Homo-oligomer: A and B are copies of this chain.
Amino acid sequence: MVRAAIVFLLTLVSVLPGQTNPASLVARQWRQTHEKAILEEFSGLLSIPNIATDHLNIRRNADAVAAMLRGRGVAVQLVEAAGANPVVFGELNTPGATRTIVLYAHYDGQPLDPKEWATPPFTPVLRDKLIEKDGQVIPWDRVRYPVDPESRIYARSASDDKAPILAIVTALDAIKSASLKLHSNIHFVFEGEEEAGSANLERILTAHKALFAADVWLICDGPVSQNRQQLIAFGARGVTTANITVYGPRRELHSGHYGNWAPNPAMMLARLLTSMKDETGHVLVEHFYDGIAPLSETETRALAEAPVPDAALMNELWLGGTEGSPKKLIELLQLPSLNIRGMASSRIGDQASNVIPSTASASIDMRLVKGMDHQKTIDRLIEHVRRQGYFVVEDEPGQDVRMAHPKVARITTLGHGYNAVRTSMDLPISREVIRVVESARGPAVKVPTMGGSVPLDSIERAVGTRTITIPIANHDNSQHSSNENLRLQNLWDGVELMAALLTM
């Protein structure tokens, strides 16, 4: 009867070449007839503020996600550790299954400044297109269904990373509606502090090793390819961050009465940052590139076959040049990077006054590839700063320290960076994941390492598994910035993808 239903459905929906996964087709039909309910559920989840440090609201998120899973028959528990945000763990076990698959996502979102948002970040709104393309808000009570799939939902975590959670529970509804069977033990792990660096994840996983064990963890996070093609990433760059503050006079000084004499920390910082990278994008921190693992033949071939969205992206981003030119974006993402996330000293523009600033600060992140160690990389950065003549301290330096050294830099780190991982594309489980994903979404872009970072090393280390990342969000989602959004078609595609993965 199930098969009959599927055959019937196949006659109703428009199927693209290569999209032959029965669960995906069921999921599409379900979505098309339930868009309103799906978006209402999504909007409800996005309305709960989810900054990792906001523990009260984080718990509200965890409870909401747990309730969403339980409503679909999933056995759920909140896995707790002192000082950590709860991990929502769910199980759908299949009697006789020989394979366990974890679907991972995170329910916390990046910190934000509400003033920079066009609409409040935790009041989801629908826009007919991107804000940058003059997209207008469509009030929820005036939305017509089916919704134009090019519409966008604007809210913190609309794409990063509550979209996969919604896609999963919707796919579960669809699967149940068609009485499709699962073939693997499907487990869910939804983390609550990924954007804060996943400081406690490894500890939690290690403490519950058996619970979290699996043949593979499928990491549902990040964006798909810029040409909107499905992406499968077999690794992710690691990351580590540092805040650097350099010091001038104890208080701001009049730039007339002291200019030329009092050291200007903004100029010192500019010089220090300049010393870290050359104009071609090559990082000048000593030994930065040491020990990097080379790519395999399959990985090199996959990169060569990947689409090249560079020209279209440059147009979209108004770029007249790129940093690592002539290398392509996808090639550059296989390399480590050093990036200034932000920089500040005194005031600018109309707020500027004639002063020599007292301090200047920059926040940087370094993305790491397989073979690099995050702690060693920080050590190399500190050593580099020392080579520029700085006395490096961790705590705010007092008069003694500042007077004893002409150049003092305070370097602080979050203390919980993580390393890159890369799962071989040639493993049987890797090949199986590729097959299932492509049966749902057609030919996929397969990359050895995606640019973004997820704490995959701690997962692999703690539970002895391997990870493969399968994102669903659109690339132009303003993830990590203001006005984060999700393109609806990406959510719909995600539902179909999740249905395929759940039934693999």
Contact = CB atoms under 8 A, between A and B. Distances in A.
A322 B270 contact: no
B351 A270 contact: no
Contact of A249 (B248, B251, B318): B318
Interface size band for A: 35 or more
A414 to B, nearest CB: 10
A413 interface: no
A320 interface: yes
Contacts of A248: 319
A408 interface: yes
B274 A317 contact: no
Contacts of A206: none
B481 A251 contact: yes
A197 to B, nearest CB: 10
A253 interface: yes
Contact of A362 (B247, B266, B339): B266
B405 A252 contact: no
A29 interface: no
A319 B256 contact: no
Nearest to A316: B250
Contact of A354 (B250, B263, B343, B480): B480
Contacts of A403: 314-315, 318-320
Interface of A: 110-113, 132, 222-223, 236-237, 239, 241, 243, 247-264, 266-267, 269-271, 273-274, 277, 279, 281, 310, 314-324, 329, 332-333, 335, 337, 339-357, 360-363, 365, 367, 399, 402-408, 450-453, 475, 478-482
Q: Which 7 pairs, one residue from A and one from B, show the smallest C-beta to C-beta distance?
A: A321-B406, A256-B452, A352-B363, A342-B346, A259-B337, A266-B340, A260-B332
